[in-house]
Amino acid sequence: MAIRPILHYPDKRLRNPGQPVTHFDADLRRLVDDMAETMYAAPGVGLAAPQIGVSLRLFVIDVAASEDVPSQLRTFINPEISEMVGEKSCEEGCLSFPGIHEQVKRAEKVKVKAQDLDGNPFELEAEGLLAIAIQHEHDHLEGKLMVDHLSLLRRRLVHRAMLKRGPAEAAE
């Protein structure tokens, strides 16, 4: 396993939609292991493959609240959100926007269809933090970012804040 560099906004590669995963093999398992290690080291609750420069439809999530709670690592490959219910506004952060937290409107509940590491299909209904994380990471697979949910003014402020960080600070 290895910690991989996380792309930071405004890196244009974050806008590239992920391609479907077609090979369920040892390389995919290594990638998922690297993504989990990278996410935990950051630290974060989710990480999509495009955030580490890998243009695949894949993300990992672990919404365990603390180290005292057992890991709830979940892997979503080729996910599709099939149902969204309700609306909720909450503060979100993103590993590609270090130090930035914004109010984002999301669905309260989602139903997602995806594949596991062996390519087996599964379906999951989620609410709360898990539902928000699924929507957030799924956006990354579409080339959509947290700022795309903000007003034009907030988007500009976040853009300026990220540019001010500069490459050295953003790489931390």
The tens place of each residue's pLDDT in the chain, 172 residues long, gives: 799 999 999 999 999 999 999 999 999 999 999 999 999 999 999 999 999 999 999 999 999 866 667 788 999 999 999 999 999 999 999 999 999 999 999 999 999 999 999 999 999 999 999 999 999 999 999 999 999 999 999 999 999 999 988 654 444 4
- DSSP secondary structure of 75-116: EEEEEEEEEEES-EEEEEE-TTSTT-EEEEEE-SEEEEEEE-
Identify the domain containing residue 21 by its residue range: 12-170
The span from the CA of 160 to the CA of 152, in Å, is: 12
Quick check: 164 and 156 in contact, CB under 8 A? no
Query: For residue 3, is it within any domain?
Result: no
Query: For residue 154, is it within any domain?
Result: yes
Q: What integer pLDDT is reported at residue 70 of this predicted model? A: 78
Query: For residue 133, is it within any domain?
Result: yes
Interstrand relation of 109-115 and 58-61 (parallel, antiparallel or unpaired):
unpaired
The number of domains in the chain is 1
Query: For residue 28, is it within any domain?
Result: yes
Which CATH number does the domain housing residue 100 bear? 3.90.45.10
Active-site residues, by number, are 137
Query: For residue 73, is it within any domain?
Result: yes
Query: For residue 42, is it within any domain?
Result: yes
